[in-house]
Amino acid sequence: MLGHAVRLGRRPLDFLASLAAHGDLVRIKLGPMPFYVLCDPDLVHRVLVDDRTYDKGGAIFDLVRTVAGNGLATCPHDDHRQQRRLLQPAFHRDRLPEYAKVMSAEVAVMLDGWTESRELDVLATVNEFAATLATRTLFAAELDDATFEELRLCMHTVMTGMMRRMLLPWSFLNRLPTSSNRRFDRARARLRQYVAQLTSDYRRAGVDHGDLLSILLAVRDDQGQGLTDAEIHDQVFTFYLGGSETSAPALSWALYLLGRNPDIRKRLHDEVDTVLAGRIAQYDDIPNLRLTHRVIMESLRLYPPGWLFTRVTTKDAELAGRRLPAGSVVVYSPHIVHHRADLFPDPERFDPDRWGDDSVRLPRGAFTPFGSGARKCIGEDFALTEATLALASIVARWELDPLPEAHTRLSPRLSATPRSLPMSLRERTPSTIPTGVVPLPGKPAGTAVRTPGQPAGEVGSGTHRKRSRGVAGV
């Protein structure tokens, strides 16, 4: 009766990686429902670029829609082009420098709370950082600590509940008055209530706060019509889910993998010491953080945050010589293709240098942590910028080592995250200081000030503000 749901739930990545040995298109069952899993990069590419035939749908997207509604990431093909065009300005590359200021400020706040020899659950800490950043980017309204913590816990409850329901896709089970179902329903209702209240407050005030919610209120279509409150709600949840469920896993896995690979970590220390000298990374530093970027890319390959997606055929189709009738559910997992030895030699090895040769060209569909085609994640540049700035800033100041009890068994969430990642903290001092940067008196060597003639924005102040949650600054 359960089909492959138990194996997928217990060790999801191992189960998915084993499917490629059975062919390019593999049929599995979750409960009584058949699913067709893509194991070949060309098939992945074909499905992702043909979103008319392979539209978003299936258990995962149906569940996400119960929370995010008809947002950009979950809407069907017919709605997607208009939504993408309306929302694209919010994620234009010209906006990244302003978003990056918020990212760097939140990284500084996070690191201010770290102390020597402390045991840190990296996953929980980074999740809070990503959730805070997503909130600050979306809303310029002030959030008190109690409200912020409530929203964070609601989001955790909703994300966990959606994954559990995906693995057991029988609707009658989700309507039973169990404690988990009641928690899920309460959390979902609270999130909707909060977004509705903020939207109403923004409309009454008529003030552009410079945040994403203000942009959503300002966009107009060709007929001059703006988004309704329901449409704004759906986009807010889409961005919140994407912002908190992409960067946090990538950053957490990167720190874990560096802790397991001290030689690569030493090389990364050399890079950030030269570029940052212990300060918080800024947007202008990114071109010089080449190894940092490769570490993020390799972490995304080994542990893509979105590890399971579904599409539904809108008409009869053919894949790998198999006829799929309309309404068939097609599954693709970046993890499957990312771990193919014919595409990535020694695929289980953490090797950031595999991304260092620009002459290497992967087949289409071989690397898809952000999807592909017209529905490629609109926030890809935002997520990569966030992860790069955070990783460089952390590594510049701290060494993190996995504790013996650290384990990487996945928890039932939409993103590929373990249950916890406990690591120990050791403060470090940069080994080199770039020319033109001098240490502050009485401060560690990595704390710097700008010397005359040095471009502004390239060094931190050495002191950090206290958080005023929700102040967007963008």
Domain membership of residue 464 (yes or no) is no
Average pLDDT of the segment spanning 199-215: 82
Domain membership of residue 461 (yes or no) is no
Residue 263 clears pLDDT 90, i.e. is over it: yes
Among the ranges given (69-73, 297-301, 322-326, 463-467), the one the predictor scored with the smallest mean pLDDT: 463-467
437-463 pLDDT tens trace = 443 333 343 333 333 333 333 333 333
What tokens appear for 466 in the block? 């206290």
Instruction: Name which residue leads in pLDDT, 352 or 460.
Output: 352
Q: 207-239: b or e for each residue (b if 16 or more CB lie within 10 Å)?
A: eebebbbbbbbebeeeeeeebeeebbbbbbbbb
**What mean pLDDT, rounded, does the chain reach?**
81
What tokens appear for 185 in the block? 């329903």
Domain membership of residue 22 (yes or no) is yes
Average pLDDT of the segment spanning 272-292: 96
Domain count, the chain: 1
Average pLDDT of the segment spanning 15-33: 90
Domain membership of residue 308 (yes or no) is yes
Helix (H, G, I), strand (E, B) or coil at 269: helix
**What is the Cα–Cα distance from 108 to 104, expressed in whole angstroms?**
6
220-262 pLDDT tens trace = 888 888 888 888 888 888 887 777 777 888 899 999 999 999 9
- Amino acid 107: pLDDT: 95
Q: Which domain holds residue 46?
A: 5-450
Quick one: three-class SS letters along 310-360?
EEEECCCEEECCEEECCCCEEEECHHHHHCCCCCCCCCCCCCHHHHCCCCC
| pLDDT classification of 132: cutoffs 50, 70, 90 | confident
Residue 143 clears pLDDT 70, i.e. is over it: no
- Amino acid 20: pLDDT: 92
Instruction: Name which residue leads in pLDDT, 272 or 124.
Output: 272
Q: Residue 396 belongs to a domain with what CATH number?
A: 1.10.630.10
State percent of the chain over pLDDT 90: 39
Q: What is the DSSP string of 350-408?
A: --GGGG--TT--PPTTS--TT--GGGS-TTHHHHHHHHHHHHHHHHHHEEEEE-TT---
Average pLDDT of the segment spanning 343-357: 92
Domain membership of residue 471 (yes or no) is no
Distance from chain centroid for Cα 435: 35
456 CB burial (10 A radius; 0-12, 13-18, 19+): exposed
Residue 329 clears pLDDT 90, i.e. is over it: yes
**What is the Cα–Cα distance from 402 to 424, expressed in whole angstroms?**
6
Domain membership of residue 45 (yes or no) is yes
- Per DSSP, 117 falls in state T
358-406 pLDDT tens trace = 656 899 999 999 999 989 999 899 999 999 999 999 999 999 998 876 6
Domain membership of residue 117 (yes or no) is yes
DSSP bridge pairs for 28: 35
Domain membership of residue 466 (yes or no) is no
CA angle 135, 141, 144 (to 5 degrees): 80
Tokens 């001092």 -> residue: 429
159-178 pLDDT tens trace = 777 766 665 555 566 677 78
